[in-house]
Amino acid sequence: MNTYTRSLKEEGAGTGASRSRRDGTKPWFFAFAVKIILMCAFIFAAVTCRVRYNAKIESLNKEATRIQMRIRKINLISANLRNKREELTAYPYISAKIKQYNLGLREADYRQISYLRIIDLPEKRAAKRHMASFSGRKQAERTAALASTR
């Protein structure tokens, strides 16, 4: 041994203070117990959080299923109403109701119907042949007119 380490050994042995207390084993057991208790507490907290999150997930899944069932029910009601509307607006249903209530309805007379026809004005026809370029919309406005015929 060299002189430096020998002097350290002699000083440590002569002071009488040791690194660990030999009079009782409580500090070693107490530290070990605290570590075990802390580990158990962390494990318990993790398990508790996991159970709580699983419960939340399950309740959200149940709510989503309930909402999906409501959506399906609303879609079914909508389809039924659409079918009922088609049935009520069909000609056989309407004609049956006309006969049932003896309504004095008849088919439309061809003389009651008026038609609109787009025609070219005679003075614009000649101008159309001579003018080479008009924009399409302006030309249509200048050369067309509406006539009602019966």
Q: Which of 144, 125, 147, 146 has the alpha carbon at shortest distance from 136?
A: 144
Task: Give the model's pLDDT for residue 23.
Answer: 55
Give me the phi and psi of 141, to 5 degrees please: -65, -35
With 0-12 / 13-18 / 19 or more C-beta atoms within 10 angstroms meaning exposed / middle / buried, residue 57 is exposed
Does some domain include residue 84?
A: yes
Does some domain include residue 47?
A: yes
Does some domain include residue 34?
A: yes
Does some domain include residue 88?
A: yes
Does some domain include residue 4?
A: no
Task: Give the model's pLDDT for residue 136.
Answer: 52
Give the count of domains, the chain: 1
Task: Give the model's pLDDT for residue 69.
Answer: 98
Task: Give the model's pLDDT for residue 38.
Answer: 96
Task: Give the model's pLDDT for residue 9.
Answer: 65
pLDDT along the chain (150 residues), means of 10: 64 53 66 94 97 97 98 97 95 89 76 75 62 51 51
| DSSP helix/strand/coil, 75 | helix
Name the strand (E) or helix (H) holding 146: strand 144-149
Does some domain include residue 128?
A: no
Assessment of whether the complete model's pTM goes beyond 0.75:
no
Give CA–CA dist 46/53, Å, rounded.
Answer: 11
Instruction: Give the single-character DSSP code of 89.
Output: T
Give the residue numbers spanning the domain of 47: 26-107
Task: Give the model's pLDDT for residue 116.
Answer: 75
Does some domain include residue 131?
A: no
Does some domain include residue 150?
A: no
Task: Give the model's pLDDT for residue 5.
Answer: 66
Give me the phi and psi of 147, to 5 degrees please: -130, 135
Task: Give the model's pLDDT for residue 42.
Answer: 97
Give CA–CA dist 27/20, Å, rounded.
Answer: 10
| Cα angle value 47/48/54 (rounded, 5°) | 90
Give CA–CA dist 97/94, Å, rounded.
Answer: 5
